Structure 1
Amino acid sequence: MRDLTRVPGEAPPLVFITGASSGIGQALAQRYAQAGWRLALVARRGALMREWATAQSWPAHQWAVYEADVRHEAEVAEAARACLQAQGLPEVVIANAGISVGVDLSLAEDLAVLRDLLDTNVIGLAATFQPFIEGMRTRRRGTLVGIASVASVRGLPGHAGYCAAKGAVVQLCETLRGELRPHGVRVVTLAPGYIDTPLTRENDYPMPFLMTPEAFAERAFRSISAGERWRVIPWQMGVVATVLRWLPRGWFDALVGSQRHRKKRRRDGV
Structure 2
Amino acid sequence: MFRNAVITGACGGLGQALAQELMASGAQVALVGLNRPALQALAALAPDRTRIYTPDVSDASAMQAMASEWLAHHGTPDLVIANAGVAGGFETADPADLVVMRRMLEINLLGAATTFQPFLQAMLDSQRPGALVGVASVAGWRGMPGNGAYCASKAGLIAYLQSLRAELRPSRLTVHTISPGYLRTALTAGNTFAMPGLLEPEAAARALLQGVARGREHIVLPRRIGWLSQALSLLPARWHDRILLGQPRKPRAHQAGATPIPGLSDTHTSS
Q: What TM-score, normalized by structure 2, do the two folds share?
A: 0.90
Could you tell me which residue of structure 2 aligns to residue 150 of structure 1? 138
After superposition, what is the alpha-carbon deviation per residue over 1:104-144, rounded to whole angstroms, capped at 9, x for unaligned? 11011111110000000000111001011112222233110
Is 1:29 the counterpart of 2:16? The answer is no
Partner of 1:161: 149
> Letter of the aligned partner of 1:102 in structure 2?
G
CA contact (8 A) 1:18 1:43 kept: yes
| Aligned residue type for 1:100 | A
Whether 2:108 is the aligned partner of 1:121: answer yes
* CA-to-aligned-CA distance 1:223-258 (integer Å, 9 cap, x gap): 111121101110111111222344332221222233
Match of 1:267 among 256, 259, 263: 259
1:153/1:245 contact within 8 Å kept: no
Question: Is 1:106 matched up with 2:90?
Answer: no
Structure 2 segments unaligned to the other structure (5+ residues): 262-271
In 1: Cα distance, 2:260 partner to 2:96 partner: 20
Q: Work out which of the residue numbers 101, 114, 124 in structure 2 matches 1:137.
A: 124
**What is the CA-CA distance between 1:210 and the residue it aligns to?**
0.8
Q: Does 1:16 align with 2:6?
A: yes
- After alignment, is 134-143 or 182-191 more displaced? 134-143
Residues 4-45 of structure 1: per-residue CA shift (max 9 Å, x gap): xxxxxxxx7201000001110000001111222111110112
Q: How many residues align?
A: 256
- Tell whether 2:239 aligns with 1:251: yes
Decide whether the 8 Å contact of 2:192 with 2:248 is kept in 1. no
Amino acid at match of 2:185: T
**Secondary structure, in 3 states, of the residue corresponding to 1:264?**
coil
Distance (Å, rounded) in 2 between the aligned partners of 1:268 and 1:145: 24
Matched residues in 1 for 2:25 and 2:6: separation? 14
Pair 1:70 & 2:62 matched: no
Structure-1 residue corresponding to 2:35: 45
SS at match of 2:81: strand
> In 1, distance between residues paired with 2:175 and 2:233?
22
> What SS does structure 1 have at the residue aligned with 2:170?
helix
Contact 1:194/1:211, CA 8 A, preserved across alignment? yes
Alpha-carbon shift at residue 182 of structure 1 (Å) = 0.8
The answer for the alignment partner of 1:5 in structure 2 is: none
Deviation (angstroms), 1:71: 2.1
Pick the aligned partner of 2:228 from 226, 231, 240: 240
Q: 3-state DSSP class of the match of 1:65?
A: strand
Deviation, 1:65, is: 1.1
Deviation at 1:79, TM superposition (A): 1.0
Give the whole-Å Cα distance in 1 for the aligned partners of 2:21 and 2:6.
Answer: 13
Distance 1:47 1:84 in 2: 24
Indicate the percent of aligned positions where both proteins have the same amino acid: 36
Q: Shift of residue 268 of structure 1?
A: 5.8
Look up the match of 1:97: 84
Q: Which residue of 1 aligns with 2:71?
A: 84
- 8 Å CA contact 1:155–1:164 kept in 2: the answer is yes
Contact 1:122–1:168 under 8 Å retained in 2 = yes
Shift of 1:199: 1.0
AA partner of residue 63 (structure 1): T
Match of 1:200, SS state, is coil
Q: d(CA) in 1 for partners of 2:109 and 2:237?
A: 26
TM-score, structure 1 as length reference? 0.90
In 1: Cα distance, 2:37 partner to 2:206 partner: 26
Displacement, 1:50? 1.3
Partner of 1:4: none
TM-superposed CA distance for 1:53, in Å, is: 2.0
